[in-house]
Structure 1
Amino acid sequence: MPELSYNDNTPEVRRLADPLERPMRPDPFDTNRSSAGRAGADSHGDREPYAYERGRLISERERLRQKYDAERDGDDPEPYDDRDALPPYATGTVPRRKRPIGRWILRGFGIGIVLLVIAIIWLAITAPLSKSLQPPTPPSITLTADDGTPIARRGAIIGKPVDAAKLPPHVTQAFLAIEDRRFYSHWGVDPRGIARAAWANMGSGGVRQGGSTITQQLAKNAFLDSDRTATRKIREAMIAFWLEAWLSKDEILSRYLSNVYFGDNTYGISAAAKHYFGRTPDTLNVGQAAMLAGLVKAPSRLAPTSNLEGARKRQAVVVGAMVAAGFLTKAEGDAVRPQRVLASRPGQLPNGTYFADWILPEARDQAGEVKTETTVQTTLDPRLQRAAERTVARAGLRQAQVALVAMRPDGRVVAMVGGKDYRKSPFNRATQARRQPGSTFKLFVYLAAMRQGLTPDSTIEDRPVTIGDWSPKNSDGRYQGTITLRQAFARSSNVAAARLTQQVGVKAVIKAARDLGISTPIPNEATIGLGTSTVSLLELTAAYAAIAREQYPVQPRGLADVREKGWYQSLTGGATEIPSKIHDEMLDLLAASIRNGTGRQANLTVDAFGKTGTTSDNKDALFVGFARDLVVGVWVGNDDNSSNPGLSGGGIPARIWRDFMQSALGIAPVAAPPPAVEEVDPDALPSDEEDNAVLPLGGEIEGLGLNLKMGEDGTISVGPSHRDRQEGPPLRDDRRPPEDEPGYDGEQ
């Protein structure tokens, strides 16, 4: 065994002197601990107190000293007795080793490499180069009528991609002169441009210039939003470096010119050249190219269609920049004249109509991911649409609104009017509004009755009735006693409908409505027979189309191409035939309503079927019916759900329905019957049945916007209303009608 020196720095000494170099073991001779404690310490030696180990070290040191004193010769030097003589491991004062600066440099370089790899991976995922080829906004969709005639265009006008290398030099030079004069010399970020813009902005006290290069603008337009934050600017610079590393300068310039915004919802120089000048990019002159380049700074504000003076001033600035950059001589710059834009654009389509707004979401869904301008064919019939708009315009409405839907029995919508004026109120009352249908809902009550074996000749009591705490009344206050279902349906008896609902059951009525396509909530109450629930005009018209088609349900659609149903829809969503007997009975009832009931003003020279509907306080008036292969629904009312004195479904709505049908079907008006000679009972009360209001001699006819007067000699003249009614211009009615509508207890 080698001799141990007190000052030796051997592993054995280090293990004895340094508690970090040797395991911490409990003292088996420690009598102050129990056997259990010792056993625990033996298995958990690392929990021994540090003070105990320090004492062990001192004991070992003394033993080594004594051993060294006993073995050393007389000539050996006396060991130092101070702590400086102890090895560093014994005192616990290990000096810190000096690490070379080169190691820190290597570590920093390694961290930089790792961050660079992470940045490249992040850019490859979040900023794929292919994205710079895509338009920054969905391209436009052009909707056409069933004959291919364009009817509306919605979305941005996206131009075709261009190759900057193939454009005339003055076109690209106009953009380089005003946007990025050192485009071909920088690497995506221009420090000189940033410094120049910062100095100019400091001098002006605001943001007057920008330092973004064309590459940075492409990065922002294609990959980022428009937030002005430091984080976004850093990302913009990183993506600019990324684009410069992988694309050539001409490729970057080409993608920039193909996607930049020029105002008027126009993207790309191809679309802008055609939109403003009717030209292609390769035929633009210097002035036109300069004007387009000047629009990039503030396209919405400088669009020449709305701010020609501002666009021309900006054009002059660009021409001056081209002269300063050496792209034009002074004489060439002075020769450039202010440019003109197209005064009108042949074939320009409206951005929106009631029909286009309704069908556009479905058209986009059918077209899928659109990368270029797309054309989608609809079911709209231009002739019928013009007839509907013309009929509504001639209806004599004042403040009241109107909606009309015309469809084929299979659900193809061929005409739609959602209001009097789309520009003033784009809210579509035919599809978006949910109003009470009034007595038009009685269709489902009588269908449920026919399903249970009743017939139009079955009888029912037309007498006052109380169901729970509800006592419905007829609108005219008169009751006929025992009548047939045909008579009850024709005169729109409320008490008969309430009795019939109670007889067949509320659930049977709800099922009939659901079968015919009504999807809106229907309360489980007896009052539903009078139309207390809400429904859209489009859905209600489709329910009547099911009777016309003899199949249910009928799904309204506005696209010419019908998507194939999935297997689940094919199994569960097929059409169901209406039994011929029930179908004939429903036609009998609907014809009686027009022939000698509340819908007499909708009578045609061909077989016509329909039903009137009026809600309490004359808030809503409807007429829904069909003739030949056309099903039409009409609604009239106020957006604020206010009352319209004198309004009823058999009045204005029935006349609108009749006039439209005559124009659409090409049929002549019904000849007025000769006046019948009747004996007048001076003691009889005048009739005031629905839609047959008493005409006071020498007085004013109550109605919506008619203002008619009948003189004592029988002449009718139009004059101002004497009612206390506001005669000012109508308020803007582009607000959404109230959703909560109070119920009512009878048709008026």
Structure 2
Amino acid sequence: MLCSVDTSVIGACVRRGGVLLKLFGLCVLSGVLVASLMLPAAIGAGAMVNETTSAMSRMSDSLEEARMPLTTDVLDRNGDPIAHFYDDYRIPTSSDEIADTMRSAITAIEDKRFWDHNGVDWQGTMRALATNISSGSVQEGASTITQQYVKNYLVHVAADNKVERHDAQATTIARKLREARLAVELERTMSKDEILTSYLNVVPFGNQTFGVGAAAQTYFGISSDQLNIQQAALLAAIVNAPGALNPNSNPDAARERRNEVIDRMAQPNNNFRITKEDAERAKQQPLGVLHPLGRPPSSCVSAGGSATNGFFCSYLRDYLNEAGFSDKELENGGYTIHTTMDPEATKSAKKAAEAQVPKDSDNIANPMAIVEPGQNSHKVRALVANRDYGNDASKGQTAYNITTEVIPYGSGSVFKIFTAAAAIQQGWSPNDTIPVPSAYTTHQFGHGQQWTVHNAEGVSSGSRSLRDALATSPNTGFVWLLERVGLNNAVDMAEKLGLRHSLSRKVDADGDPETDKKVTKAKDIKQSRQGSFTLGVTPVSVLELSNVMATIASDGKWCPPTPVESITDRDGNPVQVNEKSCSQVVSPRTAHGLAQGLSDDHKAGGTSHAAAESAGWTRPLMAKTGTTQYYQSAVLVGATPQMAGAVMTYTDGPPYEGICVNGSAAPYQCSDTGGNLYGGTIPARTFYPAMNTVHEGLPVKQLPEF
């Protein structure tokens, strides 16, 4: 009886003992044959559909829909790609985008009766069985393209973990039976062209490349509709054994298999037959594979232009992770992410950063962040450094995001902004006068002990307006002012304006690792009464400093510094990003007063005047410089109504000494107690040329009146 199952074949295999390994493939194929013989009658009686479990039905539907993992494309503000995220490189390809040469090649070598069978090739199965019986081992397989599609989909798409992937390709009768059942079902619901197209979109071609669209790009740098005979034949050859037939590592084997495919393409029974003359010409052609391969890189470290774009790419990925997008989702979801990155701003900032501190400078970093202010969003336009983004430290590269992460140095007198902001919020005016003695002693901070502060070299004593004090940066005047506005208020102001991550970090406040009583940096500063807060000893993030200035330029409206313009899914539908909402953190009056108070730094007498004048800066600007005590770091922050930026020059490697600046020569570490690095030198000389370029074409806007 046709439907009866003779288990003696399988039983014999099991009883063979020592011969089992040799004839294991025979056992499998025997089981497949027995199962396949059941299919026609079962389908004819409707039993197949009735017996298929709900899981199998869902899998069949999934195979028809073929929702495969897709590459996520990351674009700059102009729509040009800057990075790609993927586990497997894929380019979705429709039927009309696949050349007939590819159809000819893949069916000729993998399934020459593809256009005739119903999902299982009975003739091929029996031939393979006979061959394997005569040889005593597995010499031939009998899977059709439809069955291969099922297997590859289950392995490379449906499987969520290693166990599922192993089960989907295990050499068992159960697995072969499942493939056969699904293959026959697919042939009833999908056209041959749909099955072939789906197969060519899921099958692996080696080198982390899946599907013919991606393979054509990876190996030849073309689209799949442009594949000629020898190119299509090579891709069809690789499918047989992507590792062993890698044309880069094993070109001789790849060429031999390619030529075999070409010969098959010229055989009479090929639906897309080529002529023998064309076949002979194609076999004489070189492999023609790209070196390096045309597959785009899949990480921020190796992204195209990663030296310039990598820091932004890294921030984007971290930002999206925090917003709820897992790495797996980004690498398989097929999103299109339109970012806020301005390529021209990025190039100009990168050029300026390297001009002041060459990338191969010994252990000195010079990162810059540029943020566009706004009432509804603060868009990150550039994140760069003199360092390239990468893993080769010998080439001046780093994969630590020095543009966004907290740097282990302070920004010096830049923190006087927060003391001034607290004063203005309490009713002070930028024109109100503060005393500036040459030295000032206080008992209010620390534990009530005496603390005497002096001004930096070159800062004269004498009372002056708050505006003038911000431009000339006397230490004594701001410690005096901090006493009056309150340390807690100044710390709160720093958090409000933008130092969210810098001040919310957990620190070991009591200095005893055993107790491990950790509090935020902000709380630690308040509890320990650190009056030096106004002198900028707290580690900060360059991006957050830039966003502080963006908040002031936005009339006191804080927004998270976002790298995202919009996201669409694989079907073009908009995707919501779970971002923090904007908030009015200080009144417009306070923001406007602070903008006016910071408006003289680039003018004569201001700490960055020389750099601004040298760069030809002419626009209204609010700015502030800062330098830490031992000259290991210096900063300039600044903003116009249209754009905000921050630059931080600091020691990023041993011996971690102060930095000396010597004219136009590269800066260098020079002393553990001294140096001559100031915010008005390297940071300012980086900031003004970069921001000049960024503002090209923008109208000149005045700072808000107070």
Q: Deviations over 1:476-498 (max 9, x none)?
A: 47886653344543343334433
Report the counterpart of residue 186 of structure 2 in structure 1: 247
Match of 1:660 among 690, 694, 702: 690
Per-residue deviation, 1:625? 0.6
Q: Deviations over 1:10-62 (max 9, x none)?
A: xxxxxxxxxxxxxxxxxxxxxxxxxxxxxxxxxxxxxxxxxxxxxxxxxxxxx
| 1:393-472 to 2 correspondences below 5 Å | 393-397=354-358, 398-399=361-362, 400-410=364-374, 411-423=378-390, 424-435=397-408, 436-456=410-430, 457-460=432-435, 461=437, 462-466=439-443, 467-468=445-446, 471=451
| 1:506-517 to 2 correspondences below 5 Å | 506-517=487-498
Instruction: State the secondary structure of the residue aligned to 1:237.
Output: helix
Per-residue deviation, 1:287? 1.5
State the alpha-carbon separation in 2 of the partners of residues 256 and 545 from structure 1. 51
State the alpha-carbon separation in 2 of the partners of residues 613 and 475 from structure 1. 13
Report the counterpart of residue 703 of structure 1 in structure 2: none
Report the counterpart of residue 736 of structure 1 in structure 2: none
Instruction: State the secondary structure of the residue aligned to 1:591.
Output: coil
Query: Larger RCO: Structure 1 or Structure 2 (Cα < 8 Å, ≥ 6 residues apart)?
Result: 2
Report the counterpart of residue 538 of structure 2 in structure 1: 533
Report the counterpart of residue 174 of structure 1 in structure 2: 105
Distance 1:176 1:504, change over 3 A: same
State the alpha-carbon separation in 2 of the partners of residues 565 and 330 from structure 1. 52
Report the counterpart of residue 304 of structure 2 in structure 1: 350
The question of 1:223 aligning with 2:158 is answered yes
Q: Deviations over 1:265-302 (max 9, x none)?
A: 54322343355446554553332221111232454786
State the alpha-carbon separation in 1 of the partners of residues 168 and 291 from structure 2. 43
Distance 1:340 1:569, change over 3 A: closer
State the alpha-carbon separation in 2 of the partners of residues 474 and 301 from structure 1. 72
Amino acid at match of 2:288: R
Contact 1:405 1:537 in 2 (8 A): yes
Q: Which protein shows a greater Rg?
A: 1
Amino acid at match of 2:487: V
Moved more, 502-511 or 442-451: 502-511
The question of 1:257 aligning with 2:200 is answered yes
Amino acid at match of 2:54: I
Report the counterpart of residue 389 of structure 1 in structure 2: 350
State the alpha-carbon separation in 1 of the partners of residues 141 and 483 from structure 2. 76
Instruction: State the secondary structure of the residue aligned to 2:500.
Output: coil
Match of 1:631 among 640, 644, 654: 644
State the alpha-carbon separation in 1 of the partners of residues 579 and 304 from structure 2. 36
Q: Deviations over 1:350-397 (max 9, x none)?
A: 275232343357689899999996654433333322211221232243
Amino acid at match of 1:138: L
- Where does the alignment leave 5 or more consecutive residues of structure 2 unmatched? 1-46, 297-302, 391-396, 505-521, 569-573, 661-676, 698-706
Contact 1:406 1:416 in 2 (8 A): yes
Q: Deviations over 1:424-477 (max 9, x none)?
A: 434332223444333222211111122223344332354244533574644747
State the alpha-carbon separation in 1 of the partners of residues 629 and 133 from structure 2. 69
Report the counterpart of residue 587 of structure 1 in structure 2: 596
Report the counterpart of residue 288 of structure 2 in structure 1: 340
TM-score normalised by L of structure 2: 0.64
| 1:139-154 to 2 correspondences below 5 Å | 139-146=71-78, 148-154=79-85
Contact 1:143 1:151 in 2 (8 A): yes
Q: Deviations over 1:80-105 (max 9, x none)?
A: xxxxxxxxxxxxxxxxxxxxxxxxxx
Contact 2:559 2:582 in 1 (8 A): no
Per-residue deviation, 1:657? 0.7
TM-score normalised by L of structure 1: 0.61
Contact 1:622 1:633 in 2 (8 A): yes
Report the counterpart of residue 505 of structure 1 in structure 2: 486
Per-residue deviation, 1:191? 8.7
Match of 1:599 among 604, 608, 611: 608
Distance 1:428 1:301, change over 3 A: farther
Amino acid at match of 1:656: T
The share of aligned pairs that are identical, in percent, is: 25
Q: Deviations over 1:513-553 (max 9, x none)?
A: 23213212223242322333333211221111122232221
Contact 1:465 1:495 in 2 (8 A): no
Distance 1:283 1:649, change over 3 A: closer
Q: Deviations over 1:713-736 (max 9, x none)?
A: xxxxxxxxxxxxxxxxxxxxxxxx
Amino acid at match of 1:358: Y
State the alpha-carbon separation in 2 of the partners of residues 478 and 464 from structure 1. 20
Report the counterpart of residue 48 of structure 1 in structure 2: none
Q: CA RMSD in A?
A: 4.8
Contact 2:90 2:213 in 1 (8 A): no
- Where does the alignment leave 5 or more consecutive residues of structure 1 unmatched? 1-113, 668-748
State the alpha-carbon separation in 2 of the partners of residues 530 and 197 from structure 1. 82
Distance 1:334 1:573, change over 3 A: closer
| 1:733-744 to 2 correspondences below 5 Å | none
The question of 1:608 aligning with 2:621 is answered yes
Contact 1:609 1:626 in 2 (8 A): yes
Contact 2:336 2:567 in 1 (8 A): no
Report the counterpart of residue 575 of structure 1 in structure 2: 584
The question of 1:160 aligning with 2:160 is answered no
Per-residue deviation, 1:346? 11
Instruction: State the secondary structure of the residue aligned to 2:75.
Output: strand
Amino acid at match of 2:155: K
| 1:19-34 to 2 correspondences below 5 Å | none
State the alpha-carbon separation in 2 of the partners of residues 270 and 584 from structure 1. 58
Contact 1:550 1:583 in 2 (8 A): yes
Per-residue deviation, 1:412? 2.5
State the alpha-carbon separation in 2 of the partners of residues 198 and 513 from structure 1. 80
State the alpha-carbon separation in 1 of the partners of residues 634 and 141 from structure 2. 60
Distance 1:254 1:455, change over 3 A: closer
| 1:198-237 to 2 correspondences below 5 Å | 214-215=148-149, 216-224=151-159, 229=166, 233=170, 236-237=175-176
Distance 1:384 1:480, change over 3 A: closer
